[in-house]
Structures are given as structure tokens and as C-alpha cells.
Chain A
């Protein structure tokens, strides 16, 4: 029985060098890359997400933990590819047209990656047509729209409309400071999340079974 606690503690406190070292050691011991990823790194990120949601840790703590997770995942990647391990789903995330604030979007990307998604970062100020194009070309399961400003919220509706008309099968989720569940309902999005950690849970729940 491999103990993943040391790895998880190192990842949660954002210690990149330590995470790299422990991941290397575990691989050398013959532990499966899939196990190191799921029971070590993703599990730790999941805990960080829960603590973020509970207001126990904040944006900087999430950022350093996510960075450590990324470093560890990079070491595991060739092993995962070799073993044929796939992401749980594919997601496109971006801020809507007119909105340039990307901290929330970046957090959601990290949380989704932490939940096992392959995430395509669409960037900021993304036009509705661009979301549609990305969703189709990547065959995405989830499209996440972010807005920080009340004034850019209408762009969310345009993005939802364009994607619906364009016939993408991706589920559309929305979030950001001014956004609410009732706004989500009014524009016909598939889900709303009040924070980045909940966004990962929401995305998982919307995946086809």
C-alpha cells in the first residue's frame, strides 16, 4: 500500500521541487502513473478546492497548489499516454466578449484540470462565434463562460445563443461575480457555479454517462 499523503501535503503547500522528487520516486518504485495522478495529485487538488469553497484557503494558495499539480502531471504525462489513460472530459473555458478579467477563469481551469479534465483555455474577450468554433473543433463536453462585470453579462447570452444555434452538443456552464442561478436560467445555460471549486463538480455532473 503506497502512502500518498506526503505527496499530497507537498502539493497542497505548493512545493514544486518536492512534488517532482516524490513523483519521480513513486514512479521508480513501480507505482502506476494513473494512481499517482488520481490518488495523489487530483485528490490533493480536490481537497484544495473544498477548502477554497469553504473559505479556508484563497486564490494564492490555489494558484501555488495548481502549479505544483501541473509540475507533477508533466512528469506523469508520458507514462499516462503510454498506459492509455484519458482525461475525464474536454472543456473550453474563456471570458466572454468585452471582459478582460481572467483570474476567475484561470482558477476554474485549474480546478477542472484538478478534476481530470483536459482544458482548452480560450483566453479573454472571446467572441460567441469563437466559443462555438472551439467547442466544435475540439468536440468539447463542456464550455465554461466567465464574466466579472455586470456590463458584460449580456455577452453570455449571445454566446449561449450562438452556440445553441450552431448546434454544439457541449454543455454550457457560466460563472463570475455578478452571475446568478436565475440569470443562468434566463439565458438557458446548462449550469451555474458560484465558485471555481463548484465549477469542477458541476462540469463532472454534466458529463455524459
Chain B
């Protein structure tokens, strides 16, 4: 099954052989190729390079074509300010303080940077589209209305509800046009990204947002394509209303409980995803933080219809090794099991373990074998077997100890010995063979070196 197939199955709420994985690479793609965001988001060549590299390096099942929620607003006359490390910001609101929709420039799919987005989709489709699913991202109707009206949108819900509905409705018609154009260009999924809805109540969501989102989802479904609703920000209170919309999938930010989303999604037959911690784990964390967070998400999600993804657009300078680490957890269930047990080691220093304070004071050479559990992990079993065999072939007595990291004692031993890989052989407290099971000749020779050092010869 290709990554694209895994993702499409997951999106349709099917059970998949592994979790699907979609790193939301936006301006981070620019960072990957050493470019500024302001150049990147204006160049097909650069985005193609960044996204192709990201898809390959992060072993992605799907990638967003262009994570820039200002594309539509730009065409509608909003002024943008560009930044080297962020998507552009909207700084003028043509409908701020009122004004009729008629005064906006006519929405044209050939205007602004829109042709770039659709051309990029076609190019990506032909280059990596057989293996990697493409997400067409469109600006959600409420967020687009916010671009057009500014803060007046919020007060307008109280002062001029009909006017606000007319604006949001217009924005949803643009969402429908964008969706069709993206689908025509070859995307597999259309994601409607509506972060501003995280700022309003559930009542306002159901009155001012849900009906207009549903118009877009219906259009996407009519084209035979899957839809996703992304809400960056804390939208906890709106999850029930979001689940009532007709999207196929919901993707959420890190500050929302994935367990709650899982339960709501399962009752409404939707697939779900997101939730990887953007800042604490991916941006400021280390690979182990990314691994642990990926494991947390995968474990909470459990089973069918789950797409592992960051909570929102990846920050520009997210260390690539953190994303590679998250990808590893998706693709390698064995490593996932090991990481589950080993990474916690960081906090395990205080547990007692059977490791001497000073190996030099011990009468015999000690061979410590750190394993997941030799009974259940085949490579661990082979390694323990190899050490026992070597020990019995030696002329001097050698003490062999297995430390299973399925126990706290084993974890503490692993930490004390500074072991990074499983399984690993340590001789008198030094890492001798990591991951690789040595042949008898090498193993015996190595142990004999330590016996000689100890003066036992």
C-alpha cells in the first residue's frame, strides 16, 4: 500500500496498517531549502523543491500544496505584509467599517497567486502524486470574512447579523470555486482551514459558520473528493458543532484533547487527526520529544481513521530531525515500542538497578545486555543467546546480566550505562555492541580484552 493509499483509507475512517502521517509543511518548506518565506510562497519552482524534499525526507503520506490562508484575501483586495519566516499577514480589510460586497474586486481564479497554487498542484501530481496524497488548502469562510472585515466581523455578529451572514456566505462561494479548481488540478483532499472559528462560541459557530462550511463540503463531495476541516487554536467548545458539519475528517490543534476528538469523531463516523505539539515538541523540542508526542497521539487515537499531523502549519525553523523522528514512529512499530519504554528513561535516574557503582571493584568481568525483553523481541533473544554462548566458551568466569527495559530496573540500567539502542551489549560498563549482534569470534575477543584489563589472565 502506498502512503497515499494509507492516507486515503484513514481519511475514510478505515483501519490502516499503520497511522497515516501528514506533516503540514507550509513556510517550513522554505526553511528546508534555505529560502525566505517571502520568496518561497511566490515561486512554483521553490515550493516544488521544498515540498518534494519534505515529502521524501519526512516520508509523508500526504502534504498540503500551499499552506497560505491569505491567497484568496489577496485577490479580494486585502493588502499583505510579507515576512521572511512566516506566511504573509493581512493588514487591510476592504470591508472594515461596512461596505458592500459589490465594491470588492471580482474573484478571479486567474488572479494573484492562485494560478501558482493550481499549477503547483498539477506539477506535484505528476511528480509525486502517485505515492503522496495532495491536500488543497482553502481559507475557511469565517477566516476569509475576518480578512475582509477585520475585527468588525466579531461585533457585526451582534450588530448586523444579516450582513455578516452575507459576507460569510460570499466567502463560502469562493471556497466552493477554490475547491473545484484544486480538485480539477488533482488534489486528493480539500482541507477547509478556518482558524478564526476558535475565537467564537458554539452558538455563533452553528449560526454563522456551519451552514456555510457545509456548502463547501457538499461541493467537494459532489466532485467525488474527500474533505477535511482544520481548526488551529483551542476550539474545544466547538468540537460538537464541528462534528455536526458534513466534512469527512477533522484536524485539530495541540491544545485540544485528542481523546475527546476521537470519541466525537467515532460517533459521527468521521476520521480525525492533528494534535502533535508544534512548539513544545516539534519546534523547541528534541527528536525524543517529537517521538514521545507522536507516540502519545498514536496511542490515544488507537485504530481506524487516524491521521498523525501537527496541530497547525509547521513553524518555519522546525528542526527537520524532529519531523524525521515523528515519521519514524509512524513507519516503524518496532521502534515505536522501544521508544515508548526507553525515552521515559530520562526521568528514571532514581530507580534502583543492578549496575555496580564501580566495575573495577567487581571480581569478574560483567556483561550487561540491555533488551526490550529477550522472550518477546527476536533480536534481543539472539543477542542474549550469543553472549551466553560466548561466556561459556571463555576460560574465566564472566557474569552475564540481562536488563529488560520493560521493567523500571531495566530502564534505570539503560540510563546508567548510557545505552541508546536496543539491544546493546555492555562490557564492564562500556557500550561494546549496539544493535548489531556480533559473531562469536569478535564477541569473545572483546570480552577477553576486558578480562586482560582486569588482570585475570
Interface residues of A, Cβ cutoff 8 Å to B: 14, 55, 57-61, 63-64, 67, 98, 100-101, 103, 106, 149-151, 178
A67 to B86: give the CA distance in the assembly, Å: 32
- Beyond A58-B199, A59-B154, 6 additional pairs, beta carbon < 8 A: A14-B155, A61-B201, A67-B155, A98-B83, A150-B283, A151-B316
Ranked nearest first, the 3 interchain pairs of A and B with the lowest CB-CB distance are A60-B154, A59-B199, A100-B89
Find chain B residues with CB under 8 A from A55 CB: 236-237
Find chain A residues with CB under 8 A from B420 CB: none
Decide yes or no whether B315 CB sits under 8 A from chain A: yes
Of residues A60, A64, A101, A103, which shows the largest number of chain B Cβ atoms within 10 Å of its Cβ?
A: A60
Mask of B158-180 contacts with A, CB within 8 angstroms, 1/0: 11000000000000000000000
Residue pair B155, A103 in contact (C-beta under 8 Å):
no
Checking A59, A67, A178 against B279 with a beta-carbon cut-off of 8 angstroms, the contacting residue is A178
A106 to B155: give the CA distance in the assembly, Å: 14
Residue pair A150, B199 in contact (C-beta under 8 Å):
no
Decide yes or no whether B394 CB sits under 8 A from chain A: no
Residue pair B279, A60 in contact (C-beta under 8 Å):
no
When C-beta atoms are compared, the residue in chain B nearest to A62 turns out to be B154
Find chain A residues with CB under 8 A from B85 CB: 151
A-B contact count (CB 8 A): 49
Decide yes or no whether B200 CB sits under 8 A from chain A: yes
Residue pair B86, A60 in contact (C-beta under 8 Å):
no
When C-beta atoms are compared, the residue in chain B nearest to A183 turns out to be B284
Decide yes or no whether B81 CB sits under 8 A from chain A: yes
Residue pair A101, B279 in contact (C-beta under 8 Å):
no
Residue pair A103, B151 in contact (C-beta under 8 Å):
yes
A22 CB, nearest partner CB in chain B, Å: 18
A100 to B283: give the CA distance in the assembly, Å: 21
A178 to B278: give the CA distance in the assembly, Å: 10
Find chain B residues with CB under 8 A from A98 CB: 83
A163 CB, nearest partner CB in chain B, Å: 24
List, sorted by A's number, 30 A–B pairs whose CB atoms are closer than 8 Å.
Answer: A14-B155, A14-B158, A55-B236, A55-B237, A57-B201, A58-B199, A58-B201, A58-B204, A59-B154, A59-B200, A60-B154, A60-B158, A60-B201, A60-B204, A63-B151, A63-B154, A63-B155, A64-B154, A64-B158, A64-B159, A67-B155, A98-B83, A100-B81, A101-B89, A103-B151, A149-B86, A150-B279, A151-B85, A151-B316, A151-B317
